[in-house]
Amino acid sequence: MEILASFGALQIAVAVAATLGAAFIRGLTGFGFGILLVPILALALTPVEAVLVLNIMAGLLSLSEIRYILREAERSALTIGALVLVTTLPGLMLLDATPPALARLLIALVALSAFVAVLLPRRAGDQPGHLTTGLTGAAAGILTGFAAMPGPPVVPYYVGRDIPRRTAKASMIAVFGVAAMAGVASGATLGVLEWRIVVLAVALFPLVMLGNWLGSHAFGKVSERLWRIVVGVVLAAAAGTAFLKLL
């Protein structure tokens, strides 16, 4: 409790409300937790604290769903996840070497490209070749380190194909869980992972479980078309937020 007291009442209130809402969207779509939560948390916490709190909660949530992932996810998630582990640190190094204005522009363009990609006609359900899968994994890892946003290459890879949405959702959850753990490991390596961040993330985690459960319950009730519309809306919100930061 003493550690939590280091955060103000407004910080806690913002974190609670944003976490519950973002977890619901994540349960419904399989992604969007970081895209929606980090910008809001960053209003109350420092950007580094916001990203680390998010990554801890996302990693724990993925571990809680390991049986669902193993049962439903596509094998490509293993390849993409492994590449994320390898390329997250280079992404962080790239961010450190990129001028802030250029970094914001690149992040905005990547977010916009993901939105455009899911609007394109759906491709066949066959798993893409090794090159496409490898590039997706490398891009997701670099963007995890560069912007805490592995979603832009991963979401079109799965949602843009004619595969069952349960498969798409489970595969994205698997990849984003690996990305979250890589982000936490990078924070610890750089010495910016403080105990108060860990405590806040653990304290908020029951809300993550609740919001995710509500979203997963809704997932089983919405139509395929509505689910894909929600996915597009979340990606549009991510692109809009990125361009607002740019301006």
18-56 pLDDT per residue, tens:
788 888 988 888 877 877 777 777 767 777 788 888 889
How crowded is residue 67: how many other Cβ atoms within 10 Å of its Cβ? 8
Q: How confident is the model at residue 246 (pLDDT cuts 50, 70, 90)?
A: low
Helix (H) or strand (E) run with residue 195 in it? helix 195-219
Q: How confident is the model at residue 99 (pLDDT cuts 50, 70, 90)?
A: confident
Q: Which of 51-60, 77-86, 146-155 has the lowest mean pLDDT?
A: 146-155
Closest CA to 234 of 55, 29, 15: 29
Residues with Cβ < 8 Å from 31, sequence gap 6 or more?
A: 151, 154, 155, 172, 173, 176, 231, 234
Output the pLDDT for position 245.
65
Residues with Cβ < 8 Å from 191, sequence gap 6 or more?
A: none
Domain count, the chain: 1
User: Tokens for 191?
Assistant: 């010495």
Q: In terms of residue numbers, what domain contains 73? A: 4-246
pLDDT of 204 strictly over 80: yes
CA–CA dist 224, 219 (Å, integer) = 9
Closest CA to 52 of 205, 145, 180, 177: 180
How crowded is residue 219: how many other Cβ atoms within 10 Å of its Cβ? 17
Output the pLDDT for position 79.
95
Q: What is the pLDDT of residues 213-236, one digit of tens each?
A: 998 888 878 887 787 788 778 777
pLDDT of 4 strictly over 70: no
Q: How confident is the model at residue 72 (pLDDT cuts 50, 70, 90)?
A: very high
